[in-house]
Structure formats: C-alpha cells, structure tokens
Structure 1
C-alpha cells in the first residue's frame, strides 16, 4: 500500500473514532475496496418430502413411508416421528438416504385413530402426513 493511501486510511479511522462512530471506524474508503464484486452463494437448504403408501391401516399393519431428500448426504438416516400430544416423538423406524436422495421405510402403528407423522433428520423435517389406524 502506498504512503498516501495508508495516510488516508489512518485519517479516516482516526476521524471516525474521534467522532464516536465505532462501526464507521472500520469502514474503508471506496478506493480500498476490490474493484471486482465478491458474490457468496447461499448454502443449499436441506429438505425432505414424505408420502405414506396408505391413508388408513389396521393396528400393527405394515405400510411404507417414501420420500426424497435434497441437501442431505447419502447414507444419512432419516427417522419417523409421531406427534404425541404437543410433542414430536422419534419412533424406532429409520432408514438411510440413498445416493439419489430417495428413502423408503416400513412402519407399524398401534395407536388407533388419526396419527400425525413426519420424517426428520437433525433440524430438517418433512411436511406432516396422516395415517388413520383402525
């Protein structure tokens, strides 16, 4: 950095500090900025879809939940969650996501009535689906 530019930068910082603009003290003059804009790409957000193979089933009758994932690494396990009261509880039904992002898991439910389910991995969850157990 040449001497004139350095003195300008020091003057701007000093003046900003004396005036009381703490945030402005670290703002550089326009000449110091790179002439090429830097663009940051936002990280891909993870998502899950889910669909039950049936809308109703008998108690302990097996059905499947299938879906796809985006932004989730192959081999990552997705877990079935059931709404119990106001809480989402993870069931012991889980399966890994394959290389294309798809998954399929077998489920058996014993709680009669409308069951609210979803798939989850970490903080990513699918939209809610319902299966009525008769």
Structure 2
C-alpha cells in the first residue's frame, strides 16, 4: 500500500476520532441514522354509515339497519333515531358496535308514511335513511 495513502487514511481516522468518537470514524452521516420525526396527528373523525334492509314495510314489520362505525370503540352502543317533526328522537332500538367495526339492529316502525332514520353514537350521526311505512 502506498505510504502517502496510509498516512492520509490514518489522519482521517484520527481526525474523526477526535471530532466525534470511534463511531463517527466509520459511521454513515448522522441524518441516515436519525429516526423519522413522529408528527402527532389528530385521531380520525368518528363516522357512521347506515343502510336499511328495505325501503318500504308494513306497519310493525321488522327490518334491519346495518352499517359501519369508524373511529368508534367496539362495544359502544349505536341508537336508531327518527325524525319526528323538527326533532330527532332516539328510539329504543340500539346495538353495540362489534370488534370489526360493524353493527346491525332490528327495527319496527308504526308511524305510517315516510320515516327519516339515522344512527347515532354520542355526537356522531350517520346520513339519513328513508323507510316508508304502509
């Protein structure tokens, strides 16, 4: 090996050792070893979907409303809400969200005509589904 090359290599290692320790002499640049900064993000907004199994039923005929719940913990109860006049009224039909984030609840309606329904869990509500009762 060329004597000048050896002196240059030894000099570079010596400078590196003095500058930053033994790891610095042989390590890749620091930015290659730095972990990617973790940026805190807000949790995904909770959302519910809803779909009725039918669009028209006879009074007191059972049907189902099923859907998915995102950002809502398994076991949280979702409740059927019905628009009565200008207010949304919670019906006694509710079911828990399962571990896969879905739900299905049985519903019976007696108010004839077009019924607007939605699912609710706390302040999170689904889009409206319409079921006509004959």
TM-score (norm 2): 0.71
Report the structure number with the largest CA radius of gyration: 2
Aligned to 1:119: 119
1:40 shift after superposition: 2.3
Cα separation, partners in 2 of 1:58 and 1:45, compared to 1, 3 Å: same
Aligned to 1:94: 94
d(CA) in 2 for partners of 1:45 and 1:70?
8
- Structure 1 runs not aligned, ≥5 long: 1-35
d(CA) in 1 for partners of 2:40 and 2:74?
25
Cα separation, partners in 2 of 1:99 and 1:37, compared to 1, 3 Å: closer
TM-score (norm 1): 0.71
- Structure 2 runs not aligned, ≥5 long: 1-35
Aligned to 1:45: 45
1:42 shift after superposition: 1.4
1:83 aligns with 2:88: no
1:94 shift after superposition: 0.1
- Runs of 4+ aligned residues of structure 1 deviating over 4 Å after TM superposition are none
The alignment of Structure 1 onto Structure 2 pairs a total of residues equal to: 99
d(CA) in 2 for partners of 1:82 and 1:51?
14
d(CA) in 2 for partners of 1:37 and 1:60?
57
In angstroms, what is the RMSD of aligned CA positions? Answer: 1.3
d(CA) in 1 for partners of 2:114 and 2:65?
16
Q: Deviations over 1:77-118 (max 9, x none)?
A: 000000000000000000000000010000000000000000
